[in-house]
Amino acid sequence: MTIIDKPADVPAPRSGGEKSGRLLDVKDLHVEFHTRDGVVKAVNGVNYSVDAGETLAVLGESGSGKSVTAQAIMGILDMPPGKIPQGEIVFRGQDMLKMSNEERRKVRGRKIAMIFQDALSSLNPVLSVGYQLGEMFRVHEGMSRKQSKAKAVELMDRVKIPAAKERVNDYPHQFSGGMRQRIMIAMALALEPDLIIADEPTTALDVTVQAQVMDLLAELQREYNMGLILITHDLGVVADVADKIAVMYAGRIVETAPVHELYKRPAHPYTRGLLDSIPRLDQKGSELYAIKGLPPNLLKIPSGCAFNPRCPKAQDICRTEVPPLVPVTERDGTDLAGRGSACHFWKETIHG
């Protein structure tokens, strides 16, 4: 039992020069799926970047393309039916989409690791946790069984699994949900990657365990000075850990902003709607604001701005022209660093 405050945002990089600067640049990424019913346009020109030691939160609902983007970065998309017709994924200056499978495999796991939502189905039920953790060292670093097991215990200690030595030979089902998610984190950390992609890492967990796991993740990120892409639908989780946020809708980024700015002054009607539709814990409040309509059908995304059928501000231009992601400025034109909005009426949205 510990009562802690939000830790200060002081990065304490373990190693210096090599692990800094721009890690990942996603440029104009498109992903589509060819299905029985037609072409599902899951990602339609996504741009984002992550630096070392930075946490980017990608926020979106189901069907927004947030997970597909991550799978494309990891190179674990099912192709077919998936297809990347356009775009670049530049990791440390190299476009991963142009790499050979062998090169790609070397990056995956060693440089970029991923944590999934469902830890139980991501772990092999018939192998002990220690064996699965050690596998990374045996495969990538050619360690012996004994060495790799010792490494596994060390990792389990690092993610604060109590009695790691005794539990290293246990099987995944013998651990609770929170502990399993810690094992997943340990596995992702094994080779000290530069970038971790966490896809809804705490969604399946209880609130009290959620906080533990998020804290651990944030702590390890600081310690290793890793980049972190946090994919989630939960505006609350994002507020806790992210440095900057990219909001996705129908396969596009509709707003980017540093975390504090986004909550204070959203510059896209969708973000505003989302924030308004969440009931508050500290107030009773009256009727909830509800975004009208349904999430878009990716088989036939509305023309113009994909959000236009649900948007209270929609005008004719919204139905015909796709709004680009433009920089957002103060009323007087002063730059707002890191802010962008893909709305024809962002000025009205942010400045009232």
Task: Report the SS3 class of residue 126.
Answer: coil
List, as one string, the DSSP characters of 45-106: EEEEEEETT-EEEEE--TTSSHHHHHHHHHT---TTTEEEEEEEEEETTEEGGGS-HHHHHH
Residue 45 lies near another protein (rule: CB under 8 A)? no
Of residues 63, 172, 193, 304, which one binds another protein by CB under 8 A? 63
Asked if residues 27 and 90 have their Cβ atoms less than 8 Å apart, the reply is: yes
List, as one string, the DSSP characters of 92-114: TTEEGGGS-HHHHHHHBTTTEEE
CA angle 33, 39, 43 (to 5 degrees): 55
Least distance CB 275 / another protein (angstroms): 6
Of residues 106, 260, 319, 351, which one binds another protein by CB under 8 A? 260
Residue 36 lies near another protein (rule: CB under 8 A)? yes
Q: How far is CA 132 from CA 149, 158, 182, 198, in A?
A: 9, 16, 13, 19
Asked if residues 245 and 263 have their Cβ atoms less than 8 Å apart, the reply is: no
Interacting stretch for another protein, rule CB under 8 A, among 146-154, 192-200, 210-218, 333-341? 210-218
Of residues 25, 51, 223, 234, which one binds another protein by CB under 8 A? 234
CA–CA separation, 222 and 219 (whole Å): 5
Residue 235, sorted as left (phi over 0), alpha (psi -120 to 50) or beta, turns out to be alpha
Interacting stretch for another protein, rule CB under 8 A, among 44-52, 116-124, 203-211, 222-230? 203-211
Least distance CB 29 / another protein (angstroms): 14
Of residues 285, 312, 324, 327, which one binds another protein by CB under 8 A? 285
- How many residues lie near another protein (CB under 8 A)? 74
Asked if residues 277 and 219 have their Cβ atoms less than 8 Å apart, the reply is: no
Amino acid at 96: M
Report the site for another protein in 74-113 (rule: CB under 8 A): 78, 81-82
Least distance CB 313 / another protein (angstroms): 16
**x/- contact string, 107-146, with another protein (CB under 8 A)?**
----------------------------------------
Residue 324 lies near another protein (rule: CB under 8 A)? no
Of residues 237, 254, 314, 325, which one binds another protein by CB under 8 A? 237
Of residues 10, 208, 331, 352, which one binds another protein by CB under 8 A? 208
